[in-house]
Amino acid sequence: MDHAVTPFCEEVRKLEEEFKNCQKLLTAVGDENRQHLLCVMLNCPIEGARVTQIAEMTHLSRPAVSHHMQILKAAGLVKSRKEGTYVYYYLDPDDNQVTLLASLVERMAKVMAQLPDRR
């Protein structure tokens, strides 16, 4: 049996690679609380907000917000800057993490469109 790599197999291989590259990102956005925090961050001032300010806008405690912000930061979705003893969290519109996620979804749709009709 011939196991030649078809263009479809190559697309699936690329999709798997993109999933691996987006693993932290997918984990970060997979949590309801972090999804809510991202939406809250969209309403924050451009200069960012402190954990206490973010907690006041949510149903989460300060420690919970801090924990989730660290995960979002590690995934590259949220950035922070320090001013004295205060840490301000903000979204970076030039960040490529959202672009990576959009690319993954686009490739997945492309691969799925090539599947045979199973109705």
Summarised one tens digit per residue, pLDDT across range 69-103 is: 999 999 999 999 999 999 999 998 777 888 888 99
Query: Which of 114 and 67 is assigned the larger pLDDT?
Result: 67
Q: What is the pLDDT, as a whole number, of residue 75? A: 92
Query: Which of 10 and 78 is assigned the larger pLDDT?
Result: 78
Q: What is the pLDDT, as a whole number, of residue 8? A: 76
Question: Would residue 20 count as lying in a domain?
Answer: yes
Question: Would residue 28 count as lying in a domain?
Answer: yes
Query: Which of 97 and 118 is assigned the larger pLDDT?
Result: 97
- DSSP codes joined into one string, the chain: ---PPPHHHHHHHHHHHHHHHTHHHHHHHTSHHHHHHHHHHHTS-TT-B-HHHHHHTSSS-HHHHHHHHHHHHHTTSEEEEEETTEEEEEE-TT-SHHHHHHHHHHHHHHHHHTSPP--
What's the number of domains the chain is made of?
1
Question: Would residue 41 count as lying in a domain?
Answer: yes
Question: Would residue 40 count as lying in a domain?
Answer: yes
Distances, alpha carbon 29 to alpha carbons 13, 63, 80, 83, in Å:
23, 19, 18, 27
- CATH at residue 42: 1.10.10.10
Question: Would residue 118 count as lying in a domain?
Answer: no
Question: Would residue 58 count as lying in a domain?
Answer: yes
| 61: containing domain | 7-109
Summary mean pLDDT of the chain: 90
